[in-house]
Amino acid sequence: MKHMFDYNTAHLPPEFYGAAKDEVKLLTIDRSRGMVSGSPFIGLRDFLRPGDLLVFNDSLMIPSSLNVFFTESGRRGKLNFGTSSVHGMMLCEPRPRNIGELLSEREIALTVPESTGVKLVKRHSLFHRYWWVEPADYFEFTSVMSKFGQYIRYGHIPFDLPPETYDTVFSSLPGSVEFPSASRPFTQRVMQSLEKNGVRFATITLHCNLSSLESSEFENATRLLDEEYAVSRRTLEQIQKTHEEGGRVLAVGTTVARALESCAISGRKPIHGRTDIYITPGFRFGMIDGLITGLHEPDGSHVDMVSALVDDSTLLSAYSVAKEIGYSWHEFGDLSLIV
């Protein structure tokens, strides 16, 4: 189904077009009635009920991309570092993609301009676009990133954006290398409006790993890259209370859904661990009742999670409507509410 719809793009945050962070659009998908409606995001409270609980990700995006020179191929590019590590090796993705396809295990990537280096050891066993790299003795990740690190960005963003672009009301714990963007439009005025209407808030932590794979690269996979996450006792108590009182638990972002459902599988106890859960159609949700998320391009794993919540017909109809009336995709685009 996900290959059947087209989509618009959003290249830059709304502030670059003279709008506020919360001046995006909202696509509401009512699963029980199969209905789709559009509205300004600022009116989100009209679709929520007193007693509903919104759960946010408090992870903060960090610089994790370096300009490098690949010694064997003699070409310049980037290394985007992930959050996984094993036996002293770090996960990374060479960019642009055509460089990564040509690299071998003999390759050394030297950072520009200081020439600190990492050695490409072997490709990831499941996702071959990614590599395990071994830092040289003089490569100190935090120090190098503080001097030369950039935020990971892809071709739809034409230039580097200032760090505050990636701030949200809840982001406070540094650790994500990709942007957990669903909570970005939740400004103070939106939060105050929701709180006044009896909506409550909680947080989890999930540090986003690399997520640039295309559908052909994970369509036969049963797991995704592992990510560090934590769900506190307080958040679990808030979720239990919400359900006992008849409220709904809504994940703000697919990262929150992954963290909460991983916690549910692990016994609904406070947890700090790693998860590689891959939520696809047929998954039985044990913690969340709905989702607030961006509009996801058809070749991403995020839309598989959305497809686990919404039947194909309704989702195709919703995304077709969004396309027709000019909704925007990607991390700075519009949002959808699935209830």
Within 10 angstroms of residue 185's Cβ, the number of other Cβ atoms is: 26
Q: What's the confidence (pLDDT) of residue 302?
A: 79
Angle, CA 199 vertex, CA 194 and CA 200 arms, to 5°: 115
The 10 Å CB-count burial string (b at 16+, else e) for 255-270 is: bbbbbbbbbbeeeeee
Q: What is the pLDDT of residues 163-221, one digit of tens each?
A: 999 999 999 999 999 999 999 999 999 999 999 999 999 999 999 999 888 777 887 88
Angle, CA 81 vertex, CA 80 and CA 86 arms, to 5°: 145
**Averaged pLDDT, groups of 10, the chain, 339 residues long:** 54 91 96 90 96 98 96 92 95 91 89 89 94 88 91 90 95 97 97 98 98 81 95 98 98 98 97 96 96 80 87 87 88 95
Q: What's the confidence (pLDDT) of residue 3?
A: 47
3-state secondary structure of 108: strand
Q: What's the confidence (pLDDT) of residue 66?
A: 96
Tokens 């408090």 -> residue: 58
C-alpha to C-alpha distance for 61 and 46, rounded to whole angstroms: 30
Determine the topology of domain 14-61+160-338 in CATH. QueA-like (3.40.1780)
Tokens 């029980």 -> residue: 32
Q: Half-sphere exposure (CA, 13 Å, Cβ side) for 277? A: 25
C-alpha to C-alpha distance for 127 and 81, rounded to whole angstroms: 14
Q: What's the confidence (pLDDT) of residue 334?
A: 95
Within 10 angstroms of residue 309's Cβ, the number of other Cβ atoms is: 22
The 10 Å CB-count burial string (b at 16+, else e) for 70-109 is: beeeeeebbbbbbbbeeeebbbbbbbeeebbeebeeebeb
Average pLDDT of every residue of the chain: 92
Cβ contacts of residue 140 below 8 Å, gap of 6+? none
